Structure 1
Amino acid sequence: MEADVLAYLARREAEAAPKVAVTPLARRVAADLGVDLSQVTGTGPGGRITREDVERAAREAAAAPQPTAPMGVRQVVPLRGIRARIAERMQESYQTAVHVTEFTEVDATELVALRTRLQEDEVQVSYNDLMVYIVARALREHPALNATLVGDEIHYLEPIHIGVAVDTERGLLVPVIRDADKKSLSQIAQESAAKIAATREGTISPDDLTGGTFTITNLGMFEIDGFTPIINPPQCAVLGIGRIVDKPVVRDGEIVVRKMMILSLSFDHRIVDGAPAARFLQYVKRLIERPHLLLA
């Protein structure tokens, strides 16, 4: 209906322009295309508007950018401080590293049972603590993921310092658990709890936010399954942890309910290829599904 009204008005306007020298054909085309003849420059004899002039004006009008309604702005916040630093580092990572993400589904039933037993023994351990403990040992077996690119050299790092992404009111911060492969699960749990609390309170030391060689980020508490985490430069890789959910799976030919989770490993393809990254992820999966191996 609106289009018909606009076409009718344009036709009336075109027909009501007797002072403009227009060929009859051009006038009919202008009425059909909704072209305002007063806005058309004629190129015919004596400045007469021709059909070609009308069609050219219609094409130019169609190609011109259409004005958009101004968007209401609720609040303007300057990009500075921690937010600016996060933006800078994430942009650096995405524009520099060659990101590839591999996913795998893991049966976390035994890991959940292990954590339950530890809590019954009054050992306060989070899933993040267990993952730091597991990943540290996986990196020890697969050092290709504990590396960084320096100029035209790949440096395989001796220390295993694992960063744990923490959501704070100031933005995403990553406190680091140093020498995680040399610490017991209880040591990791105590240190992690203290550093996460200090991070959220804003009392964490800057030194405790730098020097990581690998990062873990967990979005399971937000009911996220899998995602594509961005590498924390100059590190080689980051492991994303999804939520643990009950799912029906086939075991020994029978359908049973197991506690499943998805792991998402993003890595820099300049430093490591897909197969070594997959072997690392496979090793992490093995330790999650058979946590008794951690005690071996």
Structure 2
Amino acid sequence: MDTRGERVEPFSLRRRATVDSMRMAGRRSDIHGLVEFDVTDARTRIDELEHATGERLSFTAFIVFCLAQAIDAQPHVQAYRDALGRVVRFDDVDVMVIVETTVSGEQIGVPHVIRTANRRSLHSIHREIRRAQTTSDVPQFSQFAPLFFRLPGVLRRQIYRLPRLAPRRWKQLAGTVGVSAVGMFGAGGGWGITPTNYPLQLTLGGISTKPGVKDGDIEIRDYLSVTATFDHDVVDGAPAARFLTHLKELVESAHGLDTIAE
């Protein structure tokens, strides 16, 4: 801090990865769907499970589970167009989530890929997220990361061209779809639009409480703001809408929560 009340600090090496990712994501043909999911029943069930077991089920795990099941039924939404103009579709649903954990004494959000989420139980996804939150063993910030971040930007950004150039390699590194929960940073409803390098990205916004209709009656309900971002090069609006309808049904029916033993 100098005498003028200004502070000048070095730009974090880790932030360079965010800059690179956003710059490359800005070149895509994305379409966005802003929707609301009624999560009242799901949150009630999670509260009941916590009361019965003493453990709080990850809400992100629940969303990831429903997302993976919806993609398993409609895999075309996670298709990639490769460098030869072909469409590459994967059977596995590998979901990238941002997990807040401690690295070198600093609390940060780091990417974590949940592999084959479409063939996993909700509880196993929950356990993996909890493990990722409590471990400091984060591969993305290995001893080689500082060297990578010091490369010229034009070289660093090549990794974010992999979805177009080599979708299989991108899947190995970063999964097939992404989930970002911006709602964790504030209270109330609201949507977020996140640039992405995935053919499908869910951005979870805030949860608002307002009147809704349930079984013909008006009552206070909890609504999650959700932004679904699709790569319009491979997914048209109508299939995207059908996918969102299916995902909404899974979330609003608290899919998978009744199969967890109390």
Residues 83, 171 of structure 1: 8 Å contact kept: no
| Residues 1:85 and 2:17 are matched in the alignment | yes
1:40-88: per-residue Cα shift (whole Å, max 9, x none)? Answer: xxxxxxxxxxxxxxxxxxxxxxxxxxxxxxxx88344444622111101
SS of the residue 2:206 aligns to: coil
**Paired position in structure 2 for 1:108:** 39
Cα drift, residue 245 of structure 1: 2.4
| Residues 1:261 and 2:239 are matched in the alignment | no
Work out the CA distance in 2 between the residues paired with 1:84 and 1:257. 43
SS of the residue 1:239 aligns to: strand
Q: 1:188 aligns with which of 104, 125, 132?
A: 125
SS of the residue 2:131 aligns to: helix
Residues 82, 170 of structure 1: 8 Å contact kept: no
Residues 165, 216 of structure 1: 8 Å contact kept: yes
State the aligned residue count.
219
Cα drift, residue 260 of structure 1: 1.3
Residues 98, 109 of structure 2: 8 Å contact kept: yes
Structure 2: gaps of 5 or more residues: 143-171
Work out the CA distance in 1 between the residues paired with 2:75 and 2:255. 22
Cα drift, residue 113 of structure 1: 1.6
Change (3 A) 1:270 1:153: same
Work out the CA distance in 2 between the residues paired with 1:118 and 1:249. 24
Aligned pairs (5 A) from 1:1-296: 74-79=6-11, 81-95=13-27, 97-122=28-53, 123-151=55-83, 152-166=85-99, 172-198=109-135, 201=136, 203-206=137-140, 210-221=173-184, 222-223=186-187, 225-231=190-196, 233=197, 235-251=198-214, 254-292=217-255
Work out the CA distance in 2 between the residues paired with 1:139 and 1:189. 19
Cα drift, residue 115 of structure 1: 0.8
Work out the CA distance in 1 between the residues paired with 2:87 and 2:19. 26
Cα drift, residue 228 of structure 1: 0.8
TM-score by length of 1: 0.67
Cα drift, residue 121 of structure 1: 2.7
Q: What is the Cα-based RMSD across aligned positions, in Å?
A: 2.6
Change (3 A) 1:147 1:172: farther
Structure 1: gaps of 5 or more residues: 1-71
Amino acid at match of 1:182: R
SS of the residue 1:291 aligns to: coil
- Is the strand fraction higher in 1 or 2? 2
Work out the CA distance in 2 between the residues paired with 1:117 and 1:217. 26
TM-score by length of 2: 0.74
Identity of matched residues, %? 26
Residues 42, 257 of structure 2: 8 Å contact kept: no
Change (3 A) 1:164 1:292: closer
1:216-267: per-residue Cα shift (whole Å, max 9, x none)? Answer: 1112221252111221x2x201101122222112445543111111111011
Work out the CA distance in 1 between the residues paired with 2:227 and 2:6. 35
